[in-house]
């Protein structure tokens, strides 16, 4: 009987593993309509090895471990931002590079170089050097930890600080498999800057299935948003929502985002 139980468990675990979807490329095309400003955005990331989902089509490991290249572009009524970059993972190390151009009142180039080390598969320390044209350079340190609660659920933490400890932030995310095809995420970020004070943001997603979900966000400034996302198949999804401010209801924002995953 014990041998039979082991065999059945192995089959079930194998079936769960093969049931997980995986992608090599993930792209988004977005549009946001706010008062006196419209924003169009596009971004794409290509992973050199398949990136497996945790169930929902848009949920993955808290700490990325796949080498990748990426690009992004956004344009609004005031200017545009273009970004290209990539990460390379080799053994316990990760190296990254990113270039951005911000073209608003004037054109500004930003270059980022990063290096990180995995103390174990769930603990990553990374340093990022940021060079801003005509601005002050700085170094950011990130310590990311993924605490696996069971085979599916996790709590992830990332602590961030600059080299002078003028900026500090903590991000935490909780992912839970509610069984029967339902999932829940809760994510929050708290940051504090010596010159501009503190801020926080909290958000949650509830998945009715791995394809359909509803979300809500709220922050310290009383900005909020809510909406829904649905994947028509494993490759194409649509996310749409509404945002406003609790104290200033004249601010309206409508947004939509198309996901393309292959």
pLDDT per residue as tens digits for the range 149-172: 999 999 999 999 999 999 999 999
pLDDT at 5 over 90: no
Beta strands 80-90; 197-207: pairing state: unpaired
| C-alpha span between 76 and 72 (Å, rounded) | 14
Decide which of 5 and 63 is more confident: 63
User: Nearest Cα to 117, choosing from 62, 46, 65, 50?
Assistant: 65
* Cβ atoms < 10 Å from Cβ of 58: 20
pLDDT number for residue 19: 59
Confirm if 201 and 188 have CB atoms less than 8 A apart: yes
Residues whose CB falls within 8 Å of the CB of residue 170, separated by 6 or more in sequence, listed in order: 157, 158, 159, 160, 189, 190, 191
User: Nearest Cα to 72, choosing from 105, 106, 107, 100?
Assistant: 100
Residues whose CB falls within 8 Å of the CB of residue 21, separated by 6 or more in sequence, listed in order: 52, 53, 57, 234
Decide which of 19 and 70 is more confident: 70
DSSP string, 104-140: SSSEEEEEEEEEEEEEETTEEEEEEEEEETTS--EEE
pLDDT, tens digit (0-9, with 9 covering 90-100), for 209-255? 999 999 999 999 999 999 999 999 999 999 999 999 988 777 899 99
Q: What is the CA radius of gyration of the chain?
A: 20
Confirm if 161 and 138 have CB atoms less than 8 A apart: no
pLDDT, tens digit (0-9, with 9 covering 90-100), for 186-204? 999 999 999 888 999 999 9
Confirm if 186 and 169 have CB atoms less than 8 A apart: no
Q: pLDDT-based confidence at 105, cuts 50/70/90?
A: confident
Report the share of the chain in percent with pLDDT over 90. 84
| C-alpha span between 37 and 51 (Å, rounded) | 35
Q: What is the pTM of this model?
A: 0.88
pLDDT number for residue 7: 37
Query: How is residue 148 written in tokens?
Result: 């696996």
| C-alpha span between 181 and 207 (Å, rounded) | 8
Residues whose CB falls within 8 Å of the CB of residue 219, separated by 6 or more in sequence, listed in order: 199, 200, 201, 202
| C-alpha span between 28 and 205 (Å, rounded) | 18
Q: pLDDT-based confidence at 18, cuts 50/70/90?
A: very low
Domains of the chain: 22-261 (2.40.160.50)
């Amino acid at each position: 009987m014990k041998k039979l139980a082991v065999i059945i468990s192995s089959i079930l675990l194998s079936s769960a593993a093969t049931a997980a979807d995986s992608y090599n490329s993930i792209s988004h095309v977005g549009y946001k309509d706010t008062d006196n400003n419209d924003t169009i955005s596009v971004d794409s990331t290509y992973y050199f090895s398949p990136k497996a989902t945790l169930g929902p089509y848009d949920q993955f490991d808290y700490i990325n471990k796949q080498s990748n290249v990426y690009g992004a572009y956004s344009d609004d009524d005031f200017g545009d931002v273009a970004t290209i970059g990539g990460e390379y993972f080799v053994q316990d190390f990760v190296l990254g590079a990113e270039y951005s151009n911000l073209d608003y009142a004037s054109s500004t180039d930003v270059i980022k170089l990063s290096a990180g080390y995995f103390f174990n598969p769930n603990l990553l320390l990374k340093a990022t050097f940021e060079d801003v044209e005509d601005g002050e350079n700085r170094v950011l340190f990130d310590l990311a930890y993924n605490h696996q609660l069971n085979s599916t659920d996790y709590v992830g933490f990332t602590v961030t600080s600059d080299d002078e400890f003028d900026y500090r932030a903590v991000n935490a995310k909780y992912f839970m498999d509610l069984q029967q095809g339902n999932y829940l995420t809760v994510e929050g970020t708290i940051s504090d800057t010596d010159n501009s004070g503190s801020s926080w943001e909290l958000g949650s997603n509830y998945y009715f299935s791995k394809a359909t979900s509803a979300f809500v966000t709220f922050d310290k400034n009383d900005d909020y948003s809510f909406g829904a996302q649905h994947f028509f198949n494993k490759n194409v999804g649509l996310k749409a929502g509404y945002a406003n401010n609790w104290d200033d209801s004249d601010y309206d924002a409508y947004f939509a985002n198309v996901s393309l995953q292959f």
